[in-house]
Amino acid sequence: MMHQLREKTKAIIIVVAIAFVALMVLEWGMDLTGRSSAQLTGGELGRVNGEPITYDQWASVYQSLYSQRQAASPEPISSAESRELEDAAWEQLVAQTLIRQELRRRGITATRDEIVQAVRFAPPPEFYSNEMFQTDGQFDFEKYHQFLASPVVNDQLLLQLEAYYRERIPQSKLMQQVAAGVFIPDAELWRLWRDQHDSVRVRYVAIDPNAAVPDEAVSVSAAEIEAYYRANRSQFERPGQAVVRLVSLDKAPTAADTAAALDRARALRQEILDGADFGEVARRESADSASAARGGDLGSFGRNDMVRPFADAVWSLPIGRVSEPVQTAYGYHLIRVDRRDDDSASAHHILVPIERTTESEMALLETADSLEGLRERLSLAEAAQALGLSAPRQMTLTEEQPPAVPGIGRLADGAEWAFSEEASPGDVSPLFETGAAFYMLELVERTPAGVYSLEEATPTIRARLVAQKKLERARASGQELVDHIRSGRSLQEVAAAAGLEVREAGPFTRVSFVPGLGQANEAIGTAFGLRPGQTSGLVEVDGFLYIIEVLERRDADRAQFEEQKAFLRARMTAGIEQDRIRRFLADLRSRARIRDNRAEVLRPVSETSL
């Protein structure tokens, strides 16, 4: 046990040291020497109520966020995303500074006893996932306490733990003060419970004015269109637009790459047939890292657990024989079936992915470099022709939302360039990259944001006015149906005479989404306001008209509510407490004196030297 502790304590110290360094750099404004970063660099990005935020603090948080984003997605980080991360790092530091200042104002600190108790019974989150402290995959406090009591735990580690909790405990106290006093009365809990557990079953008629009223039955004059335009001019504002030509280079593997992967899979199969151990080849070559570590062993699985081509091969191969390469969306598989019955099988496999070869990748990069090199002296069409690429396609970008193009992805960087001051009609952009492709744009024309003219807006206005007039006519017809029902006729009789379909829905609750009726709208509320056998008047929801009859209603079980009340109160209280904390932090920020110098400090060197 002592030997294991000595071997693993270095990793524990590193975990705590990282947390401690993060506290110094992000929260205390120190570098690794314990001195203020501002003393070393002299650079401030800004101040919060007079307290500086240094470049070093910001750069550390930004790098952490950048690394998290890289780990979360294989997509390259665009310049737009990078700026979002820059803003997020700044906002994180502002929030942390405000919290630290509020702790000082309120005099909130951590006592020695509180720190000791936290060290013993609330280890840092990273400790819970460390196998050194686990038994059967669960955190084991006995092992953790043995570790704390062992001679390998030195003063350095204890000091780092103390620093960690000296910062965390006061923050926890502050959040408890902010959220204190939340209490949800039984009546409110009962109302929420009823919303989720009262239910009704209904039949209804839906009237679609667009289908119920023929187009020729309504007309719209030019004067009405102009009057609507003048009264609602703000509705016809349009974002800036840029017309561009686009050329792209697909990063996807080529037919030659697919053939190379197949040849590689066949060569590995032959190696195994010549006597190589399947497991050793799998460990060395398989792209499925999880099974490769086990020599390609997939364990036991059902027929529906695998993609169709793989499953078909498993349930048709002779036991023990290595298959020919089997292609799926993941690549080529060499499969050896170890056991099989009607419902399950166990097998080993080697995955050879279909990906660009080194030569293919180099050729792609050379073409990309050549394309970018030609942009200074050729049009985009001429550059594409010179490299044997497809002719540019033309498309329109809007300033509000960069489009997502099939095979390329979202043109965030390209749209930013097209709407920037550096781009003029006829200019060709730098080469941009997404996870799926390289691409380049040529700006054809750019239209600034403005207001659509009356002529441009007329088709939209005409459609809106026609819809309004159809709705008015449908209301009159629908009210006639309601009057017939109230005179004693049934919903089915009235609907049949009008050629309308009677539908049923439910049982559903007040918070359910109900196909045909929607969610949390006037139709749902009306259904719960009726007793079984009652029929509603005309109900309007999003341009549709409904007549609703309640067939059955079931009320929430009060006894079941009493059993669940404590859990419901705890869950609702936690939500309200989190909302209070969010509003508290937003209020701190709104009242703070924040000076943001990032625009000056972070300007590119080329700008600062002008």
Sign of the dihedral through C-alpha 474, 480, 486, 492: negative
Token pair, residue 571, equals: 């869950």
Question: What is the predicted pLDDT for the residue at 119?
Answer: 83
Q: List Cα–Cα distances, 29 to 46, 67, 389, 480, in angstroms.
A: 13, 21, 53, 74
Nearest to 224 by CA among 456, 452, 468: 468
The beta strand positions in 119-170, using DSSP E, are 134-135, 138-139
Calculate mean pLDDT across residues 455-484.
94
Nearest to 416 by CA among 247, 246, 249, 242: 242
Radius of gyration of the chain (CA): 34
Q: How many angstroms from the chain centroid is the CA of residue 398? A: 23
Assess whether the previous peptide bond of 170 is cis (omega < 30° from 0). Answer: no
Question: What is the predicted pLDDT for the residue at 10?
Answer: 43
**Between residues 601 and 220, the one the model is more confident about:** 220
Q: Are 478 and 538 in contact (CB under 8 A)?
A: yes
What is the H or E stretch that residue 506 is in? strand 502-508
Q: Are 390 and 249 in contact (CB under 8 A)?
A: no
Token pair, residue 21, equals: 């360094």
Pairwise CA distance, residues 112 & 121, whole Å: 14
pLDDT digits (tens, 9 = 90+) for 273-318: 999 999 999 999 999 888 898 999 999 999 888 999 999 999 999 9
- Work out the burial of residue 548: count CB atoms within 10 Å of its CB; fewer than 13 is exposed, 13-18 middle, 19 or more buried: buried
Pairwise CA distance, residues 297 & 300, whole Å: 9
Unique residue bearing structure tokens 């009159």: 476
Nearest to 87 by CA among 49, 50, 52, 46: 46
C-alpha triplet 151, 133, 64: angle, nearest 5°: 100
pLDDT band (50, 70, 90) for residue 18: very low
Terminal Cα-to-Cα distance of the chain (whole angstroms): 65
CATH number for region 199-213+455-554: 3.10.50
Nearest to 282 by CA among 557, 272, 104, 91: 272
pLDDT band (50, 70, 90) for residue 160: confident
Calculate mean pLDDT across residues 19-36.
38
pLDDT digits (tens, 9 = 90+) for 524-552: 999 999 999 999 999 999 999 999 999 99
Phi-psi region of 515 (alpha: psi -120 to 50; beta: other; left: phi over 0): beta
What 3-state DSSP class applies to 179?
A: helix
Q: Which amino acid is at 591?
A: R
Pairwise CA distance, residues 111 & 421, whole Å: 57
Nearest to 399 by CA among 382, 379, 414: 414
Question: What is the predicted pLDDT for the residue at 126?
Answer: 78
Question: What is the predicted pLDDT for the residue at 79?
Answer: 72
Q: Which CATH architecture group holds 255-352?
A: Roll (3.10)
10 Å Cβ neighbour count for 310? Answer: 23
Nearest to 182 by CA among 471, 458, 592, 572: 572
Pairwise CA distance, residues 87 & 221, whole Å: 51
C-alpha triplet 540, 541, 545: angle, nearest 5°: 45
Is the pLDDT at 575 greater than 50? The verdict is: yes
Calculate mean pLDDT across residues 50-55.
92
Question: What is the predicted pLDDT for the residue at 152?
Answer: 67
Question: How many residues are there in the chain?
Answer: 610
Q: Which residues are within 8 A (CB) of 610 and not within 5 positions of it... i.e. 6 or more apart? A: none
